[in-house]
Structures are given as C-alpha cells and as structure tokens.
Amino acid sequence: MRPLEGIKVVTFEHAIAAPFCTRQLADLGARVIKIERPGTGDFARNYDERVSGLASHFVWTNRSKESLTLDVKQAQAIEVVHRLLANADVFVQNLAPGATQRLGLDYDTLSKRYPRLIVCDISGYGLNGPFRDKKAYDLLIQSESGFLSITGSENQPAKAGCSIADIAAGMYGYTNILAALLERGRTGRGKHIDVSMLESMVEWMSYPLYYAIDGQSAPQQAGASHATIFPYGPFKAGDGKTVMLGLQNEREWKSFCETVIQQPQLQTDERFSTNSRRAKNRGELTELILAAFSSLSAAQVIERLDAAGIANARMNDMQAVWDHEQLAARGRWTKVQTPAGEIPALYPPGVAPSEAPFMGGVPALGQHAESILHELGFDDSQIHAMRELGTI
C-alpha cells in the first residue's frame, strides 16, 4: 500500500508551483484530478516541444494525474467541481489572486460545506498584503527575494537555471499538506494552507540574510564559487575540463596543500592561514591553484582530491546526468507513459523502487473527462451535451 493511497486531490493548477506540489502527492499514491481549461489546458503544455512534441516542464510536473477539462464559467462545471469536492481530501489551486473567491471556491466558503477538506492556496505573494494582486513568475520572485543580488558574478546577476522559486513553493505546499493530513487524523477537521513563493524563497535565503544582518554587507556575487568559503568552487585543470572542489576546515586546508597542490609551505602563509584570509586573497590563491593544476588532467586532480579527502565533483552537462553511473547503479530510472510514448523518469528521491511509487502517465488534455464524469453520476447523454456546450 502506498502512503497516500485513498487520498483524493482536486486541483486548479497551472505552470509549475502547484503542479509540482501535487505531483509529489501523486507519487505517494494520492489520486490527483487536474482541472484544465477546455481547448488549451494548463499553459505549461505549450512552453516548448522538447519531449517528442510535449513540453519539458509539463511532463516533469504532471505525471500520475487525471485530466478533466471544465469551463468553470458555466454553472454545470461548478456543479461538477462540487461533486468532486464532496469526497475529496485536498483542494490545491494557484489561479490568479481572487479567482477562487469569485467562483465560491475559497477556503472560507468551502470549509462550511466540506469541514474535512484541506485547502492549499499557492500564490506569488500570499492572500493578503499590499502585493497580493501582483503577478508573480519564478524569475520575478528570484529577483524580489534577493536571490539575484547574490547570484552570478559582480555586476552580472544570474537567475537559477531551474525554477527554484516554483519548486520551493511547491515543496512547502506538499509538506504542509502532509502535516495537515496528519493533523486531520487527530482533529477530524480540514485546514487552510497559504503558501507564497516569496516567503518560500526568503526562507531559502536565510543564510545570506543573517550574514547581512544589522546593515552588514551581503555575500558577494561569486559566480559558481562560494561567496564566503575559499577555495570552494570551479577550477580548470590542464586539459581544459573543470573540477568543482570545496574545503570546509583547516584540517582539509592542510591536506589540500600537502597532497593536492603539493605546496605544504602555504599552510603557514599568513595570506591563507584562515578561511577569512583565503577568501580575502582569493585572487592570489586562485593563481597558485591553477598553476598547480595546469600540468594535470581533471581526472588526475580528482584522484588527488579523493586521496586527500577533499570533497569534489565533475561539472556535468545534461547528457552526463542522463548517463550518470551513480543513478544507474542505484536503479533510479524508470519509464512513464505520455501521449507521445514512453519517456524516462527519475524515481522520487527517498522512495525505493521496491516501494512501488505511483509512476503513472502524463495525461493528454481532458483524457479522463468521461471516466470521471461517469463516476460522478453523469450519463452519456449528459456528457455529450456538456461537450456540445463547451463545458468540458
């Protein structure tokens, strides 16, 4: 039995944050019914065509779900929603601010009718406050949360290469829903969860915030290097390949000098005798490290780092990650179905393949409309009429 087997989730979702949240629930066995606009669906379906004509964002965040199309401006569509909610456990939405209130699907309204229902609202800035109605996308929240101010190189801010603000909000939605299900098991009552992308990202920014507390300077933009620990970041070897390495303490600095760059005299060099001094003089130390690495291949540098007990990594591209020997050795890849055929998918982190996580298919738009409506008591003639009216 999967952990969330028997849990029913109804979701009005688009883009990334809410779909990523509900996909985690689906992985654990929850039944997730995704309500989409007829004709167009979740706009993330059309971000690109990289996966045999399907969008890469969409296939990532929407496996194991059922797709039901509904035009919620029509009264019969709202009737369908309420039939779904009558025995649902969780309702998740990330529509535009105020949309669920206009539809009568906000927590205050729903909780009176369905007291056991857990409602999770995911938005850019939260359901109140002066920024409530402001549009929010991942890059904008990366900027608003201060993330861009410490990421990239000096005077060249850089966004994260994946949707970290959406991911952060989605994961806080997921974990809060799990906690609410546990709480409901004790109290019998549902709960309202209000997750904002801004607050999720600011939580992730707590280290640089504390570093800059009381008006102190913020961490410098340091590219792929660490802003405050050195050496910690990318260094080129003699073959032109990049090795990522990181030192955490003085014991490792001693081992690095002796075994890796083979210059033991640097251990007592006043310029580099503490982490703060190494960070302050990183330019001089970088030159010394690159000179030591210039006669070595990346593989030889890694061999020395491993011998010295220094943490290191290769700078892999996407193809190297697809082919990563560690993921293969641990059996972390499986296949899922899509409207365009099978694609590889990573098992959920922390869940063993033997535990049979629900790795269901990525749904076509409206793929499950008829089966869901039949389940709710609508007959073929009623479903046909709904199609004619554009309700589904």
Which residue ranges does the chain devote to CATH 3.30.1540.10?
232-315
Q: What does the pLDDT look like over 59-112, one tens digit per residue? A: 999 999 999 999 999 999 999 999 999 999 999 999 998 999 999 999 999 999
**At 286, is the pLDDT very low, low, confident or very high (cuts 50, 70, 90)?**
very high
pLDDT surpasses 90 at 1: no
Position 353 scores a pLDDT of: 87
Map residue 141 onto helix, strand or coil: helix
Nearest to 299 by CA among 255, 238, 257, 246: 238
Position 81 scores a pLDDT of: 98
**Long-range contacts from 152-156, C-beta under 8 angstroms, 24+ separation:** 152/221, 152/223, 153/221, 153/222, 153/223, 154/220, 154/221, 155/221, 156/221
What is the Cα–Cα distance from 43 to 259, expressed in whole angstroms?
54
Position 222 scores a pLDDT of: 86
Beta strand pairing call for 156-157 and 152-153: antiparallel
Q: What does the pLDDT look like over 11-33, one tens digit per residue? A: 999 999 999 999 999 999 999 99
Position 345 scores a pLDDT of: 97
Homologous superfamily (CATH) for 232-315: formyl-coa transferase, domain 3 (3.30.1540.10)
Q: What does the pLDDT look like over 142-165, one tens digit per residue? A: 999 999 999 999 889 999 999 999
Tokens of 83: 């039939």
pLDDT surpasses 90 at 227: no
DSSP of 25-42, one letter per residue? HHHTT-EEEEEE-TTT-S
Which residue ranges does the chain devote to CATH 3.40.50.10540?
8-204+328-389
- Topology adopted by domain 8-204+328-389: Rossmann fold (3.40.50)
What is the Cα–Cα distance from 64 to 33, expressed in whole angstroms?
10
**At 352, is the pLDDT very low, low, confident or very high (cuts 50, 70, 90)?**
confident
What share of the chain has pLDDT > 90, as a percent? Answer: 94
